[in-house]
Amino acid sequence: MAIGDIIVGIDVGASKISCIVGQVNKYNEIDIIGNGICNNNGIKKGIIIEPQSVARSIRNAIEEAENNSGLAINSAYVNAKGLNVRIEKIIMESEIEKPDDGMTINDIYNAFSKIQMTTRLDDGEQIIDILPYEYYVKDRKYKEEPIGAFCKTFSIKAEVVIAKANFVESLMTTLKYAQLELDGIILETLATSNVTLMNEEKQIGVMLVDIGSGHTDISVYKNSELEYYDSIPVGGDHITNDIAITFNISGEEAEKLKKQYNLAIQAMITNNHEVKLMTTMSSDDKTVIRCSDIVRVIEERIKEIYQIIRKILADKNLIGKVECMVLTGQGISNIIGVEEFAMLTTKLNQVRLANPKTIVGLKPQYMTAYGMIKYISSLSESKHVNSNVEILKDPSVKEKIAEKIALAKDKISDMYRRIRKIDKDE
């Protein structure tokens, strides 16, 4: 990467849109030069149901980032996650176009094209990314692109990220409404793992469990590679819904109770006091319960998530490959005891909550967007594309003076109107 390269990442979430603008500094690290965030309610169960509403939220987040970065943002990377995405592993052999001149970047591109043409796709699917992990030249393994190597053929070990075509189409439509071009679609776990997992964990075997509002993403890394990825349609919103249905109260009160009595295990309760319900829908419903009643509902749903994870580990033969688990996501971020409960249910000895390796002053809501630009900045030449931005021109001195004069005139006019009103009243 070159000093001054600028990357824009947008986290398109179910409840919020966050944007980060990053620039490469002289130490080849990312400086955050702009950020913006906006609430979002146009996505349900991972599907964009109101593209124009989501576009407005994206536009608001972008404009905030533009204002504090001094840049006009024309393109960005966005994330893909959940049930819209799957991964397929592949090993592809490809020929060198001019063996006597050594391998070039065009040979890498040709191999990527070959992978795109030969990867099996179901109806309504399309490839959104190719993740090369290893290159093989004459039985020698390379982690980086072996540009310049003299050989006739080489092989790539890669994972192909495949998305539902209707998801990609709705995302493109939404970005068009938001007046943005697409730099690329990033599998969210690649971004999240960049700021939540340690390199040692990725090497020995770790399961990253990202519990969002509507679903839970499950990723397994082993030998620094993404070994497995899947998503289950259960998340933090289901806990809220369970509380609302169990006690026949509004969703707003259920969410408030979930945050107030945020324990994952009933045994952690120290004072099982009474709780008065404010929005019961029927006169026959209880209006007073105990906090243990609320925690029991939370415990049951979290237990279900962990049991599903345990079954996935067994069904996919991953039990021996996973040494530890890292929990992240807004769905469980405020619930106490989730790591202890995970150890009990999944039988893993090491479980911790993610401690994002972000920068000082950056809110947790920006974690995924920040992880996206860190991930993009780490990619090789064949994969990296800068975002399209322009420097916003500062107003000229003349314009600034004219603006100050106009403000002064407004103040004088307003003062004159108030004086006339006082005189009139008297």
Mapped onto helix, strand or coil, the DSSP state of residue 349 is: coil
- What pLDDT score was predicted for residue 377? 87
Region 112-130 average pLDDT: 93
Residue range 2-20: mean pLDDT, rounded: 90
The pLDDT confidence band at residue 397, using thresholds 50, 70 and 90, is very low
DSSP state of 83: G
Q: Is the pLDDT of residue 392 over 90?
A: no
Which residue do the tokens 């345990």 mark? 310
Q: What separation, in Å, do the N-terminal and C-terminal C-alpha atoms of the chain show?
A: 72
User: H or E segment at 325?
Assistant: strand 324-328
User: Residue 418: pLDDT band by 50, 70, 90 thresholds?
Assistant: low
What average pLDDT does this structure show over 329-358? 87
* pLDDT tier, 360 (very low <50, low <70, confident <90, very high otherwise): low
Look up tokens 């707003």; give the residue. Answer: 252
- Count the Cβ atoms, other than its own, within 10 Å of residue 52: 11
Angle between helices 251-260 and 236-247 (to 10 degrees): 110
Rounded to 10 deg, the angle between the 367-377 and 188-196 helix axes is 100
pLDDT, mean of residues 308-333 = 91
Residue 373: both structure tokens together = 């630009």
Q: Rounded mean pLDDT of 203-208?
A: 96
Q: Tell me, what's the pLDDT at 214?
A: 82
Greater pLDDT, 404 or 281? 281
pLDDT in tens, 28-87: 788 999 999 999 988 887 789 999 999 999 999 999 999 999 999 999 999 998 788 999
Size (the chain), residues? 426
Amino acid at site 167: F
86: its two tokens: 């799957």
Per-residue pLDDT of 266-311, as tens digits, reads 999 999 999 999 998 887 778 899 999 999 999 999 999 999 999 9
The predicted pLDDT at position 164 comes to 93
How far is the C-alpha of 265 from the C-alpha of 303, rounded, in Å? 9
- Note the pTM of the prediction, 2 decimals: 0.82
